[in-house]
């Protein structure tokens, strides 16, 4: 699929970051309700939390009756993952009701869990509806692409991010990759979509949203305190993650993250996000607490 004029492309001679991501979400069955997965390479030397969360959703979804989609997951990141060690995903079938299925997934390395997640799946059903309206912010076409920023910087780390970022991210208030925000605030807005076409059903798109959102969920905490991802000596790690899907998600189209950080204390901070479609539909709500030490 050819990129649209405002979608940053990558050279055909370079790796396809989105295509590689999709291969990592394809788990290999390894017995009854057990699956094996690999890890996306990372410069910081540990497994990316969003990857394990997305893979856990894929494992759980493989055991539920057809037609049931994830509507909520709650996960705890328990240990840093080893990039070279395969991850074993074991699924426990907690319940299959008339409309809902519940599953518990443990992601294991060296016999110990690195993530524990409970997810709930529901058949598509009719019901009452309401949703908070989307905030009015500039569109993605009017904003700077983080991918293009990295592409223009002659530095090995920036070029690595350019080659490996599977998503185009555009901050309304300016990104935190190169330096802190001009005005510290616990709120931020950004647009995100895949750097290419994501095939597959709604279950895959929901798992990819879980993968993608982990990379920005703690940014409102940094923004509130005048910090950036370049701050020397800073230590940031996801502790837990909760996510609710309200409506269908299309990761191929722009999604608006309206984010906030209600509190930070004790070396921990809480980040929240409401995710909207380009047309203003609320599709997901997310909350994540992380360790943030500067």
Active-site residues: which are they?
Answer: 214, 238, 288
Residue 7 has which token pair?
A: 């979608």
Cβ-contact 50, 210 below 8 angstroms: yes
Residue 172 has which token pair?
A: 């309304």
Which residue, among 258, 246, 267, has the nearest Cα to 69 in the 3D structure?
246
Strand 87-96 and strand 187-194: the pairing is unpaired
205 phi/psi in degrees, rounded to 5? -65, -35
Q: Taking the alpha carbons of 200, 53, 181, 223 in that order, is the dihedral positive or negative?
A: positive
Nearest-angstrom CA–CA distance, 81 and 58: 18
- In this structure, what is the dihedral angle of CA atoms 284, 2, 189, 247, given to the nearest 10 degrees? -10
Q: How far apart are the first and last CA of the chain?
A: 42
Residue 279 has which token pair?
A: 């047309």
Element (H, E) at 87: strand 87-96
Write down how long the chain is.
Answer: 294
Residues near 44 by beta carbon (within 8 Å), at least 6 away in sequence: none
Strand 87-96 and strand 167-171: the pairing is unpaired
Which residue, among 30, 164, 16, has the nearest Cα to 87 in the 3D structure?
30
């Amino acid at each position: 699929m050819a990129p649209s004029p405002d979608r940053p492309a990558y050279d055909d001679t370079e790796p396809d970051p989105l295509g590689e991501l999709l291969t990592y979400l394809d788990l290999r069955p390894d017995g009854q309700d057990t699956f094996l997965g690999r890890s996306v390479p990372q410069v910081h030397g540990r497994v990316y939390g969003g990857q394990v969360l997305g893979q856990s959703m894929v494992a759980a979804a493989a055991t539920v009756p057809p037609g049931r989609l994830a509507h909520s997951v709650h996960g705890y990141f328990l240990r840093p993952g080893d990039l070279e060690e395969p991850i074993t995903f074991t699924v426990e079938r907690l319940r299959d009701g008339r409309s809902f299925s519940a599953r518990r997934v443990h992601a294991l390395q060296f016999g110990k869990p690195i993530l524990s997640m409970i997810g709930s799946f529901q058949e598509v059903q009719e019901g009452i509806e309401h949703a908070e309206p989307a905030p009015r912010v500039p569109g993605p076409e009017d904003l700077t692409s983080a991918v293009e920023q990295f592409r223009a910087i002659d530095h090995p780390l920036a070029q690595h991010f350019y080659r490996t970022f599977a998503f185009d991210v555009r901050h309304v208030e300016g990104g935190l990759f190169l330096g802190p925000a001009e005005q510290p605030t616990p709120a931020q807005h950004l647009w995100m979509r895949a750097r290419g076409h994501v095939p597959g059903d709604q279950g895959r798109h929901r798992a990819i949203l879980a993968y993608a959102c982990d990379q920005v969920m703690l940014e409102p905490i940094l923004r509130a305190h005048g910090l950036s991802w370049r701050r020397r000596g800073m230590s940031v790690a996801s502790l837990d993650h909760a996510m609710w899907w309200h409506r269908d998600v299309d990761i191929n189209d722009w999604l608006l993250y309206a984010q906030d950080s209600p509190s930070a204390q004790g070396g921990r901070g809480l980040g929240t996000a409401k995710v909207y479609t380009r047309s203003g539909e609320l599709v997901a709500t997310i909350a994540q607490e992380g360790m943030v030490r500067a």
